[in-house]
A and B are shown apart, each in its own frame.
Chain A
Amino acid sequence: MNARYLGRKVLLLVPVLFAVSALSFLLLNLLPGDPAIAILGPSATEQSVAALRHDLDLDQPLPVRYVRWMGHTVTGDLGRSYVSNQPTVEAVRQRLPVTLELLLLSQLLALALAIPLALLAASKPNGLLDRASTSTAFAFLAIPNFMLGVLLIYLFAVRVHLFPATGYTPFHDHPIENLRAMALPAVTLGVAELAVYLRLLRSDLIATLQQDYITMAQAKGMSRNHILLRHALRPSAFSLVTAAGLNLGRLIGGAFVVEYLFALPGIGSLTVESIFKRDYIVVQGTVLLVAVGYVLANFAVDVLYGVLDPRVRHARATA
């Protein structure tokens, strides 16, 4: 990987992060009426509202407030909950590993199944496996997350007691229990992704396999597996990588639902709980976190393009 290429990418990241932070900041200010009353509720006393207004710098002009808020944010202070008095950073620190594990497991599951299935399907387009995987993929795409989750709970937690229906065990306490608890949520979240990845990679692979350089590799006497894995897979992975990055937004939305459904203590359930409790400072913190995570994931995708295709790397480094 080329240092100049990476340097340019990082530089481009700065204004995007800036914009994202500004939007998260404005979130609190877009609440109708006085944010302090919105947070404390209509029954709050005049004094406590005034105290909160002062606390939140609401008596200052907007630009001043933004600069102060940014100052706190970059030093790792996201304010504190007005419900539990817990610092937002602390709440996030507790909840984030659960969400990250859920996202990671569901993506690993989706990719670990999608890549070999796509390779098999593309090596015999319209063969039995290709058709079977296509129709299964579409079926899974059509089922909403929560329905699949309920179905899985019914089948594998209620009928057959393979997995717990709800609850969470931290990984470092009990790895096996942790994975058992995460299995159904990860499947629920990953299945739709699996279907998308499978379809994308399959069609890109089929297109790649028509290329001259594949015929050339055949003419060199390379085996079918070697050609699929060494020659065709990498140039076919662009849509897959793009989708994996762009999907993250959808995936986080899905994670909110799945966490709620399986009672997992992640960022999603933290956000949902905080919204119900009108704990807007915490909401602001989690929104900022999700937005920054999304930007960073797409940054990673951009860097991956360069890893996948040397032409991108060189063109962008010299552009």
Chain B
Amino acid sequence: MKPVLLDVAGLSTTFPTGRGPLIALDDVSLSLDRGRTLGLVGESGSGKTVLARSIMGLLPAHAHRQGHVWFEGQDLAALSPRDLRDIWGREIAMVFQDPMTSLNPVMKVGRQITESLRHHLRMGKDEARTAAVDLLDSVGIPEPKRRADEYPHQLSGGMRQRVTIAIALACWPKLLLADEPTTALDVTVQSQILDLLQAKQAERSMAMILVTHDLGVVAGRTNEIAVMYAGRIVERADTATLFAETRMPYTESLLASIPRVERPSHTRLQAIAGRPPDLVTRPGGCRFAPRCPYAQPRCAEEEPPLLPAPTPGHTFACWYPVGTPAGDEALARNTASNEASNKAADRAADGR
């Protein structure tokens, strides 16, 4: 049997800082099969980019990475930089967040595509040029021949992101890592880019990890979703299961903050109160405890492990899961004590 396409085991990434080591990625494991899509969701700073780059091995020199990244049975973490370069761009490709900065401003768009083709696929000049124009055409760029001879600044943001997608797709990678590919774009073109990625993924049956801070983006587009918080995966399930059987209070909070078309436009989104923990001086216990509406004394003491739920493929890390008797009870207890303290505060105010 062929090994699974991607199997990440116990991946941790630390950055040394003046205040001590910053644990950006803490013991993350996940796997992804050929042709499958995974949505990687979490607030800004939760470690999504670091995870994507740790999978590739494309980290700053001072970063310290531990763990294994099995890709088709080969541990990428054990490869030399030279061998990794044969994987990058060819087997695993990446689309970056900001197309305004991820294209070389002084190189023609066509050249930025042909250089991969010539390097990895050993294409000749003319062959690569034809292939590049075809690629531009296939990602929906009008007049691809003319565009190939233009520089990035002559294209709009959406067009530039199409170009970076064409670059990523050039050598038919088996895995595409798309790191917030629409965050920097106009709302009007966001869904076009997501549709394009989805179409290309299906057409090539390529595996894809779609990174986003917006659960709404991955809702209808990925097979599975992994939710990250403070450098850990805290819940993972098939997309439908995650929405129907949300167990982790953080996932529930993210769901509450999705903008919905059917909601009147003036409805206030419920942003998650508080901030994620400092990754250098993080206290023990559950990382979400200071912001969690379900939190109990135990949460501050013991970190909940990522354990399987009854539904196959569903895992989550929480002591008082949403929609379970323990969770309901915890929420009720917190609501009651909140009301009591509010009343006490009101009384104190009245008495004055």
Give the interface of A toward B (CB within 8 A): 211-213, 215-223, 226, 230-231, 234-235, 308-311, 314
Contact = CB atoms under 8 A, between A and B. Distances in A.
B96 A215 contact: yes
A309 B107 CA distance: 9
Contact of B115 (A211, A218, A220, A308): A220
Interface string B143-169: 000000001011000000000100100
Interface stretch (B86-94, B223-231, B239-247): B86-94
B256 interface: no
A220 B116 contact: yes
A215 B154 CA distance: 22
A213 B106 CA distance: 11
A314 B150 CA distance: 11
B104 A235 contact: yes
A222 B113 CA distance: 12
A220 B88 contact: yes
A203 B121 CA distance: 34
A223 B85 contact: yes
Contact of B105 (A218, A230, A309): A309
B167 A212 contact: no
B200 interface: no
A234 B107 CA distance: 9
Chain A interface mostly: helix
Contacts of A309: 105-106
A211 B102 CA distance: 8
B58 interface: yes
Contact of A310 (B90, B98, B106, B164): B106
A14 B107 CA distance: 33
25 contacts: A212-B98, A213-B102, A213-B103, A213-B105, A215-B58, A216-B96, A216-B103, A216-B164, A219-B56, A219-B88, A219-B89, A219-B93, A220-B89, A220-B116, A220-B167, A221-B88, A221-B89, A221-B90, A221-B120, A230-B115, A231-B107, A308-B106, A310-B105, A311-B151, A314-B153
Contacts of B56: 219
Given A212-B98, A215-B96, A220-B88, 11 more contacts: A213-B104, A216-B167, A219-B93, A220-B119, A220-B167, A221-B119, A222-B115, A222-B119, A223-B119, A309-B105, A310-B151
A192 B189 CA distance: 52
B58 A219 contact: yes
A230 to B, nearest CB: 7
B164 A218 contact: no
A211 B58 contact: no
Interface in B168-200: none
A218 B88 contact: yes
B80 interface: no
Interface of B: 56, 58, 85-90, 93-94, 96, 98, 101-107, 115-116, 119-120, 151, 153-154, 164, 167
B94 A219 contact: yes
A310 B101 contact: no
A310 B153 contact: yes
A292 B85 CA distance: 51
Given A212-B96, A221-B116, A230-B115, A235 B106 contact: yes
A235 B153 CA distance: 14
10 nearest A-B residue pairs (beta carbon)? A221-B89, A220-B89, A221-B88, A212-B101, A310-B151, A213-B104, A219-B94, A212-B102, A221-B85, A216-B102
A215 B98 CA distance: 12
Given A212-B98, A311-B151, A314-B154, A221 B106 contact: no
Nearest to B115: A222
B144 to A, nearest CB: 19
Contacts of B153: 310-311, 314
Contacts of B102: 212-213, 215-216
A219 B116 CA distance: 10
Contacts of B93: 219-220
A284 to B, nearest CB: 43
A223 B84 CA distance: 11
Contacts of B107: 230-231
Nearest to B100: A212
Contacts of B164: 216
Contact of B101 (A211, A219, A220, A221): A211
Contacts of B167: 216, 220
Contacts of B98: 212
Contacts of B94: 216, 219
